[in-house]
Amino acid sequence: MIQFKNLIKRFGDRTVLKGLSLDIREGEILFILGTSGTGKSVLLKNLVGLLRPDEGEIWIDGEEVSRLSEEEYLPVRKKCGMVFQHPALFDSLTIFENVAFGLRRHYRLDEETISLKVKKALSLVHLTGIENKKPAEISYGMQKRVSLARTVALEPRILLFDEPTTGLDPVTTNAVNQLILDLSRTLKTTSLVVSHDMHCALGIADRIVVLDKGEIVALGTPDEMKKSQVPLVRDFLAEVLA
Ligand SMILES: Nc1ncnc2c1ncn2[C@@H]1O[C@H](COP(=O)(O)OP(=O)(O)OP(=O)(O)O)[C@@H](O)[C@H]1O
Ligand SMILES: [Mg+2]
């Protein structure tokens, strides 16, 4: 349902994605691992149209999207919910209004429906009773979950997470990972998770792709990864098996 075909992305004379091809299956959780600066965020941004590739194609549900105009891209973006690394909530708005923001912006809904959708999204991330608080009154981990709820409320079919657990303590990390798993299964979304965390990837991914300098060096199930002899994969595994 999502296909990258020979994707090339350059910034000036620097080629960040070097002819990347990848098929993502409907409903799967795909972890994208790689060292810093290897093009993981650039890949997600190309999918949601925040960046456009220089060459190659991006197919979503049978449509080549990379050359659509900004306006034509809007329905594509609605299919893809992106959870950014930092929560970036609106400080002056309550948690309720933060989650309702996208719903109000993208859809014409009555207040009752908005309220139901906000409460459902917050309960999916195990946050209830904090609707009237402001972001400053809740912890960073809770803010990250609110940002997840904000994306989930729009009911995207494709969920993109850019380092959802970076900067979280181990307990909250586990909770967020469990949440990604639950959401994917409950809402039947296709999930792409950018991460540095091989331990989480082995635990919840259907498949893992490892990028190095803008190219795929390994792709497979957690079991296949564990047996990989690719040096970078071994490096990632070393931390888990240590
Ligand atoms: N808008 C941009 N303009 C110029 N260069 C950019 C831009 N966005 C990303 N880059 C460059 O592209 C390369 C890949 O960046 P990217 O953000 O995808 O890395 P990453 O794999 O997500 O790394 P990290 O794990 O640190 O988040 C980096 O060298 C970065 O400096
Ligand atoms: Mg990144």
How do residues 16-40 score in pLDDT, each as one tens digit? Answer: 999 999 999 999 999 999 989 999 9
**40 Cα: distance to centroid of ligand 2 (angstroms):** 6
- We find that the CATH architecture of domain 2-241 is 3-Layer(aba) Sandwich (3.40)
pLDDT grade for 182, boundaries at 50, 70 and 90: confident
* Domain boundary assignment for the chain: 2-241
Residue of 212, 207, 204, 215 lying closest to 236 (CA atoms): 212
Q: Which residues line ligand 1 (CB under 6 A)?
A: 11, 16, 34, 36-42
For residue 57, the cross-strand partners are 5
Cα 37 to middle of ligand 2, angstroms: 7
Q: What is the pLDDT of residues 29-88, one digit of tens each?
A: 999 999 899 999 999 999 999 999 999 999 999 999 999 999 999 889 889 999 988 888
Note the pLDDT of residue 204: 93
SS3 155: coil
Query: What is the per-residue pLDDT for 231?
Result: 95
DSSP labels, 205-222: -SEEEEEETTEEEEEE-H
Measured by CA distance, the residue closest to atom 16 of ligand 1 is: 39
The helix (H) or strand (E) run that includes residue 83 is strand 80-83
Structure confidence at residue 232 as a pLDDT band (50, 70, 90): very high
Strand partners for 60? 2, 63
Q: What confidence score (pLDDT) does residue 155 get?
A: 87
